[in-house]
């Protein structure tokens, strides 16, 4: 597999609740991470004193973050609405030449910044709020 272009890692938001996904405007950097909580079942009987983990028992989660130039696009307005209304709509993350992750996320952080001689920027963070699906390309 060849190296992938970072600009092709896209975060898309369901704009209407009907499956109309649009790329969030102005993003320059995006990231998705997956986590699985460990459930330690080590006991005195554990062979050689090695830790034992219970497979499939921990809580799974995903987080998304992005930062970029604030454009005040319709997707920026939707992100603000999601945050202030406490909604958990569907998002898609397009991972180039790998697949698409889709599911409900909550906007947990939304930050705006700017300096007098530069562009206005923003950062957002999302946390998974339900089951996620993965569709391979």
Q: Report the 10 Å Cβ neighbour count for 25.
A: 18
Residue (of 107, 108, 128, 11) closest to 60 by Cα position: 128
Task: Please report whether residue 77 resides in a domain.
Answer: yes
Task: Please report whether residue 84 resides in a domain.
Answer: yes
* Structural domain span for residue 68: 6-35+61-136
pLDDT surpassing 90 at residue 137: no
Task: Please report whether residue 42 resides in a domain.
Answer: no
Torsion of CA 52, 53, 54, 58, to 10 degrees: 160
Task: Please report whether residue 19 resides in a domain.
Answer: yes
pTM metric for this prediction:
0.88
The CATH number assigned to the domain holding 17 equals: 2.30.110.20
Task: Please report whether residue 56 resides in a domain.
Answer: no
pLDDT tens digit sequence for 2-51: 888 888 999 999 999 999 999 999 999 999 999 999 999 999 999 999 99
> What is the domain count for the chain?
1
Say if CB 42 and CB 51 are below 8 A apart. Answer: yes
């Amino acid at each position: 597999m060849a190296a992938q272009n970072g600009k092709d890692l896209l975060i898309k938001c369901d704009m209407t609740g009907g499956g109309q996904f649009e790329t969030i405007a102005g993003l320059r950097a995006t990231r998705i991470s997956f986590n699985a909580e460990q459930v330690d079942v080590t006991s005195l009987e554990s062979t050689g004193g090695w830790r034992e983990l219970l497979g499939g028992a921990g809580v799974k989660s995903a987080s998304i973050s992005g930062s970029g130039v604030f454009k005040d696009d319709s997707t920026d307005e939707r992100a603000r609405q999601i945050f202030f209304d406490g909604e958990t709509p569907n998002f898609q993350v397009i991972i180039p030449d790998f697949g698409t992750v889709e599911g409900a996320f909550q906007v947990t952080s939304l930050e705006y910044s700017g300096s007098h001689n530069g562009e206005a920027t923003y950062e957002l963070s999302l946390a998974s709020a339900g089951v996620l699906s993965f569709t391979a390309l």
